[in-house]
Amino acid sequence: MASMDLTQAACSDTATVLAALGTLRSGLTSSEALDRLRTHGPNAVRGHSTHAIEVLLRQLKSPLLILLVAAAATSAVVGERTDAAIIIAIMGMSIGLGFANEYRAERAVDALHARIRHTAVTLRDGRASDVDVTNLVPGDIVHLDVGDVVPADCGSSRSMRSSATKPC
């Protein structure tokens, strides 16, 4: 499978592009697609997962928190221990509430992301079929209609490389 940039593909005839991608007008066979999936891996970016420690560390980096620590320290130094205790209590509540809200929101986003599945109409074994976008491989022929979500790497570095925007 030869590498071809997008400009070359746009200026080439269909047969040349298909040959460069190692595919036919009828698309890949299921076995070819499976071999390419094993070779290139799934068409997906690494997932994001929520870690409580990371969320807590983001809460502790707050500029407001630094200001409250300085106010509590100043109050303690000048002998206003009650004020220092109140400020520390406010800090604790702020960190706790911020952590709880952000952690819960991140877990909800993770759950939503896990449920979303995108498919693309792809020619496999000579017929159109819905294929999960994570199973797309270099050489797949994807049918796009107006309003379709375009799989992000159609024509990307795994199949064609974009290096120029010159017209033919």
Tokens, residue 161:
């490389």
Among candidate residues 32, 30, 2, the one with its CA nearest the CA of residue 18: 2
- Distance between CA atoms of 155 and 138, rounded to whole angstroms? 9
Long-range pairs for 86-94 at CB < 8 Å and ≥24 separation? 91/65, 94/62, 94/64, 94/65, 94/68
Q: What is the pLDDT of residues 47-80, one digit of tens each?
A: 667 889 999 999 888 888 889 999 999 999 999 9
Q: What is the pLDDT of residues 15-31, one digit of tens each?
A: 888 888 888 888 888 88
Tokens, residue 82:
């009650």
**Residue boundaries of the structural domains of the chain:** 4-46+123-161, 52-114
Q: Specify the pLDDT at position 50.
A: 82
